[in-house]
Amino acid sequence: LREFLNKVMAIESHSSDTWFDLLREGCRRSTAPLRAVISVLSASHKALSPVEIQTAARRDCPSLGLATVYRLLSRMERLGLIHRIHQTNHCNLFLRATVGHEHLLICTSCRKAEYIHESDLTELTSTLSRRSGFVIQGHLLQFQGLCSACQNTGSKKRRLP
């Protein structure tokens, strides 16, 4: 696995080492399904559904079953390697997590997703905590919109609430 991860890291220009470090710590065995799914998720800038992940990963691992995809996704989610993307309707899309960037900007048309860096929420969180009496454990902030590419290609596949 270690070897495989180093290879993928070398290819992925946008890769943070931390993500691969987490993988190395969290996954003990290097199996074909795992490697195939890692390849797909580490390279994708779009949120993908389990079926899409299966389809894409079958290029490297043709026998890959959907149940295995679900099992791998839940493992990777538990490790904090991927995030579930919540849209008005569909909440079954997954995207590689980026360390230090918790917030998202998602294209409602092509599902391209970007992690964004956001600082102001720290203060807001403590204000909220003080005012409401809640112990705040986490939050979910996601922006939806049309990426520049989709603004031009018209509303082909646009999917609005």
Partner DNA sequence: GTGCTTGCAAATTCTTTGCAACTTT
Partner DNA sequence: AAAGTTGCAAAGAATTTGCAAGCAC
Give the Cα separation of 160 and 134 in Å (integer).
33
Name the token pair of 48.
């993908």
Instruction: Give Cα separations from 142 to 12, 63, 64, 103, 139 (angstroms).
Output: 25, 35, 31, 6, 10
Side-chain half-sphere CA neighbours of 61 within 13 A: 19
Give the one entry of DNA, its own copies, none that residue 67 binds, where binding means its C-beta sits below a cut-off of 5 to 8 angstroms depending on kind: DNA
Angle at the Cα of 157 (from 152 to 161), degrees rounded to 5? 105
92: contact with DNA by CB under 7 A: yes
Q: Which is nearer to DNA, 69 or 97 (CB)?
A: 69
**If binding is defined by CB under 7 A, does position 30 make contact with DNA?**
yes
Interface of this chain with its own copies, residues 63 to 122, rule: CB under 8 A:
78, 84, 86, 88, 91, 105, 107-108, 114, 116, 118, 120
Kindly write out the interface string for residues 36-65 of this chain, putting x where it contacts DNA by CB under 7 A and - elsewhere.
Answer: -------------xx----------x-xxx
Give whichever of 46 and 116 is closer to DNA, judged by the CB atom: 46
Which residue from 11, 32, 121, 136 is in contact with DNA, where contact means CB under 7 A? 32
Residue 118 and residue 104: Cα distance in Å, rounded? Answer: 10
For 34, the token pair is 């795992």
Q: Quote the tokens at residue 94.
A: 């997954």
Q: Are 86 and 104 in contact (CB under 8 A)?
A: no
Which of DNA, its own copies, none does residue 107 bind (CB under 5 to 8 Å by kind)?
Answer: its own copies
Binding mask 126-145 for its own copies (x = CB under 8 A): --xx--xxxxxxxxxxxxxx
Residue choice 28, 148, 154, 156 for contact with its own copies (CB under 8 A) = 148
Residues lying near DNA in the complex (CB under 7 A) are found at: 1, 27-34, 49-50, 61, 63-68, 70-72, 74, 91-92
